Amino acid sequence: MTKNFAVAVAQYTELVSISDGIATVEIAPAAGGALASYRWWRDGSAVDWLRAAHPAAIGRGDAGAMACFPLVPYSNRIRNGRFEFAGRPIQLPTAPDDPHHEHGHGWRHPWAVVSHEASMIVLRYRHAADSWPWSYEAEQVISLAEGRLCMTITMRNLSDAPMPVGLGLHPYFPSTPWTHVQARVSGMWETDAEVLPIRHVPPPVGADPSIGFDVSEVEFDTVFTGWARRARITWPEHGRQLDIEAEAPLDFLALYTPPGEPFFCAEPVSNITDAFNRRGDKEIDTGCIVLAPGQKQSASVRLIPSLAV
């Protein structure tokens, strides 16, 4: 093992934690600024409100196998990693396992710890212009109060030209046979074989999030529109419930429910999939935000758990 590799491993495996006496959150700054766990302790047992990262995932710095990671400077996929903005063609790097440069940069790079207190931590990622021809800064403020988790994400344009952005969070929740989700929405994006949007349609009959659905009975990899920025997850067999409260501009809810997996995702995000390539269609709300030089955009997500008495 070389010295540099040993340092890299040490960085990935180093977790920092915050606690408010009820909840504890572990964070892996070097692994995409991701959360490794969010749990309560009851009678000596852990109650995990997010999918806890396996030690192997922490060791290899795999943000996609963590409990939650940040989405900057956009959520989801850009078709073939290519779009045009202000007359300028942009080509992001792609690979066979990432043909549409999914979820941007934040989860791919280390974040610096700016401040760390007992129940709050501030992380920062600074991106220098490259194939993404704008420099920007992203910040996460992660805090606990009365067992509740609040995550605030901020994007600031550091370049001298307007920059298109999106932002959001990608939490993974435990999935059980009776896990139930309810979230008021008005529509959804039907997708092609590459999970890219092709048309806007009403929510599916029998699995409408507004009415509620059991995670084990659906297969979503879908962005829902008209989201009221509120969702409720229940695990009735465990007497557990968690409310998600998001702020504008996180006006879309991405649901990912892979069959047979012990997790699912409910992602508060500001943009639809492939938003930058759809900006020209005035009839579509893409959620694409354009930040002027020096301008910033923030949004918060709160996770509010409760246990049956």
- With cut-offs at 50, 70 and 90, classify the pLDDT of residue 281: confident
Please report the pLDDT score of residue 47 as a whole number: 97
* Domain ranges across the chain: 3-307
CA 121 to chain centre: 18
Model-level pTM? 0.94
Segment 179-194 shows an average pLDDT of 97
Which of 2.60.40.10, 3.40.50.720, 2.70.98.10, 3.40.50.740 would CATH assign to domain 3-307? Answer: 2.70.98.10
Identity of the residue numbered 259: P
Say which residue the tokens 């599916």 belong to. Answer: 204
Average model confidence (pLDDT) across the chain = 94
Please report the pLDDT score of residue 4 as a whole number: 35
pLDDT at 9 over 50: no
What is the sign of the dihedral through the CA atoms of 297, 149, 34 and 125? Answer: positive
Q: Which of 225, 139, 144 is nearest to 187 (CA)?
A: 225
Q: How far apart are CA 263 and CA 257, in angstroms?
A: 7
Segment 230-245 shows an average pLDDT of 97
Please report the pLDDT score of residue 265 as a whole number: 98
Please report the pLDDT score of residue 13 as a whole number: 59
